[in-house]
């Protein structure tokens, strides 16, 4: 079966790539577009490491067929800030020591961004619920929650 | 993943045309949260996948005079945030809120929960308790309507045929004094598959006797269904501890009748009984 032309807007830029219908958004982002900041974890929708924003909403990119993103806006961690101009959430994660091995961090940051856009002043319980689809096996979440809370107040 | 052709429909007609021709070899995809893992594990090997997320007529929540209609590709997040559903069917909103994490709720759809017919589905038992009606379309038969109870035949088996498309879900409004509750037990709070859940709907008459009662345990039987024998024990009577005990006992018997004794039975039966008694007390006590 033939490849199909996929057009999307990734981090504000128009991209075009020919993909097999079986490819997930995760695989296309990482393997065709080289955006390896989006992590491949469980590939079953349990860990949240592959979280991206699709039309502004947090989704597991391993559970989206790439062709279902046809014509849509996708935001990955590469679009969140630049090394010389970090996003406030990125700054806060560093300041609060919310990054250990770093594998969950891209997904965690995008879930946090989606949460704060919807609810700029979440309670701690709302933050917990907002990142409940992202597993972190290092931090115990306490510092991640503090980092998000700090941005929400500022 | 076995290779397949990808189709995207923009209208119900377009989808039905394709399904009437290739329905048996085509899988319909909406949010994909159940289907994509199944494709990846090659539990299903369709020749084609039909995306229905772009069909505008399959989305949205519309309040009508005596009922509410919502489209099958309405996501769990959209249900959770709907003021119409919060007002009329809080049971459904609670069930939708308990699904997965935000990423799954943003993507997963109520129609997928029905058609996929997972025995651990959260929204399905709530829809059974609410007496939802399904609107199904095909080129062969046009529109047919069927109650949700009976539409699910077994684990992962829904009566909707290959050439048919679920096009709407309708729930009749009930009197405002009706109370309802959704309880879920998982291995942890977030992202958990239900070990069991319970949807409960109850209304008392002017004298305080039980006028209407619907009890639907989920994830303890192959198919979510009302436990009519347990309901009957309380119907028409005022709540008393001995009656509640009897109803819980009957519920246990009914569950064992369907499932037999399994490795999890020693845990599940006393717990579902306790959850049932607690929930009734919480609603009426």
The complex's ipTM works out to 0.96
Q: How far is CA B233 from the centre of its chain?
A: 25
Instruction: Provide, rounded to the nearest whole percent, the portion of chain B with pLDDT above 70.
Output: 97
Could you tell me if A15 and A74 lie in one domain?
Answer: yes
Of A48, A79, A110, at which residue does a domain stop?
A79
Write down which residue in A79, A113, A138 finishes a domain.
A79
Q: Cβ separation of A129 and B77 shorter than 8 Å?
A: no
pLDDT the model gives residue B189: 65
pLDDT digits (tens, 9 = 90+) for A55-100: 999 999 999 999 999 999 999 999 999 989 999 999 999 999 999 9
Chain segment B128-149, per-residue pLDDT in tens: 999 999 999 999 999 999 999 9
Range of the domain at A25: 4-79
Q: Please answer yes or no on whether A63 and B51 come within 8 Å at the CB atom.
A: no
> CATH second-level architecture of B1-50?
2-Layer Sandwich (3.30)
Let me know whether A57 and A102 are in one domain: no
Comparing A123 with B260, the larger pLDDT belongs to: A123
Residue B30 has pLDDT above 60, yes or no: yes
Q: Residue A60: which CATH number? A: 3.10.20.30
Is there a single domain that holds both residue A8 and residue A52?
yes
Q: Are residues A9 and A49 in the same domain?
A: yes
Q: Do A8 and A73 fall into the same domain? A: yes
What is the number of helices (H) and of strands (E) in chain A? 5, 5
Structure token pair of residue A129: 């619920």
Q: Which of B2, B73, B101, B192 to mutate to test the interface with A (most CBs of A within 10 A)?
A: B101
What is the CATH number for A109? 1.10.150.120
Considering the domain architecture, whether residues A139 and A95 belong to the same structural domain is answered as yes
Mean pLDDT of chain B: 93
Dihedral pair phi/psi, residue B78, rounded to 5°: -65, -35
* Average pLDDT value for residue range B206-218: 94
Residue window 89-108, chain A: list those with CB within 8 Å of chain B.
Answer: none
Q: Environment class of residue B66 by beta-carbon count within 10 Å: exposed (0-12), middle (13-18) or buried (19+)? A: exposed
Tell me, yes or no, if A6 comes closer than 8 A to chain B by beta carbon. no
CA distance linking residue B85 with residue B107, whole number of Å:
19
| Chain B interface mutation, best of A19, A60, A126, highest count of B Cβ atoms under 10 Å | A60
| Number of structural domains chain A divides into | 2
Query: How far apart (Å, rounded) are the C-alpha atoms in residues B114 and B112?
Result: 5
Segment holding A150, helix H or strand E: helix A142-153
Helix axes A105-118, A142-153, angle to 10 degrees: 40
Inform me whether the C-beta atom of residue A130 falls under 8 Å from chain B C-beta atoms. Answer: yes
Distance CA B214, CA A69 (A): 41
Query: Are both A99 and A65 inside the same structural domain?
Result: no
- The CATH architecture one would assign to domain B189-284 is 2-Layer Sandwich (3.30)
- Ranges of residues in chain A with a pLDDT under 50 are none
Average confidence (pLDDT) over B86-95: 97
Question: Lowest-confidence range among B65-79, B180-194, B204-218?
Answer: B180-194
Q: Is A21 on the interface with B (CB under 8 A)?
A: yes
Mention every residue, 6+ apart, whose C-beta is less than 8 A from residue A52.
Answer: A25, A29, A38, A58, A59, A61, A74, A75, A76, A110
Confidence of residue B186 (pLDDT cuts 50, 70, 90): confident
This prediction has a pTM of 0.95
Picking from A33, A60, A79, the residue at the C-terminal end of a domain is A79
Q: Does B104 touch chain A (CB under 8 A)?
A: yes
Question: Which residue ranges make up each domain of chain B?
Answer: 1-50, 189-284
């Amino acid at each position: 079966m033939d490849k199909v032309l996929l057009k999307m807007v990734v981090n504000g830029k128009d991209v075009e790539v020919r993909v097999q219908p079986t490819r997930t958004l995760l695989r296309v982002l990482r393997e065709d577009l080289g955006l390896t900041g989006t992590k491949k974890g469980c590939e079953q929708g349990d860990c949240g490491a592959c979280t991206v924003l699709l039309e502004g909403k947090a989704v597991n990119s391993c559970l989206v067929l790439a062709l279902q993103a046809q014509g849509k806006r996708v935001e990955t961690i590469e679009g969140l800030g630049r090394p010389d101009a970090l996003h406030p959430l990125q700054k806060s994660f560093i300041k609060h020591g919310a990054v250990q091995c770093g594998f969950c961090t891209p997904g965690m940051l995008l879930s946090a961004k989606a949460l704060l856009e919807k609810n700029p002043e979440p309670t701690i319980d709302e933050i917990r619920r907002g990142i409940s689809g992202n597993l972190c096996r290092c931090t115990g979440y306490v510092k991640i929650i503090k980092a998000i809370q700090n941005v929400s107040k500022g | 993943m076995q290779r397949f052709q990808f189709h995207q429909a923009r209208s119900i007609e377009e989808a039905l045309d394709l399904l009437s021709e290739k329905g048996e070899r085509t899988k319909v995809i909406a949010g994909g949260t159940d289907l994509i893992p199944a494709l990846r594990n090659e539990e299903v090997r369709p020749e084609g996948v039909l995306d229905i997320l772009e069909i505008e007529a399959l989305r949205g929540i519309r309040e009508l005079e005596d009922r509410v209609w919502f489209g099958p590709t309405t996501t769990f997040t959209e249900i959770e945030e709907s003021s119409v559903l919060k007002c009329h069917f809080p049971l459904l909103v609670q069930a939708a809120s308990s699904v997965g994490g935000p990423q799954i709720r943003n993507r997963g759809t109520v129609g997928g929960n029905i058609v996929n017919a997972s025995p651990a589905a959260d929204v399905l038992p709530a829809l059974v308790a609410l007496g939802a009606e399904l609107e199904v379309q095909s080129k062969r038969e046009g529109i047919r309507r069927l109650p949700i109870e009976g539409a699910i035949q077994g684990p992962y088996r829904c009566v909707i045929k290959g050439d048919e498309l679920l096009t709407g879900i309708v729930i009749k409004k009930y009197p405002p004094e009706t109370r309802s509750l959704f309880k879920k037990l998982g291995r942890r709070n977030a992202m958990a598959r239900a070990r069991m859940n319970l949807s409960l709907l109850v209304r008392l008459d002017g004298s305080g006797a039980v006028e209407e009662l619907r009890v639907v345990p989920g994830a303890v039987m192959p198919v979510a269904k009302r436990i009519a024998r347990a309901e009957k024990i309380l119907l028409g009577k005022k709540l008393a501890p001995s009656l509640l005990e009897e109803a819980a006992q009957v519920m246990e018997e009914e569950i064992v009748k369907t499932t037999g004794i399994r490795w999890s039975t020693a845990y599940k039966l006393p717990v579902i009984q306790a959850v049932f008694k607690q929930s009734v007390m919480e609603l009426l006590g």
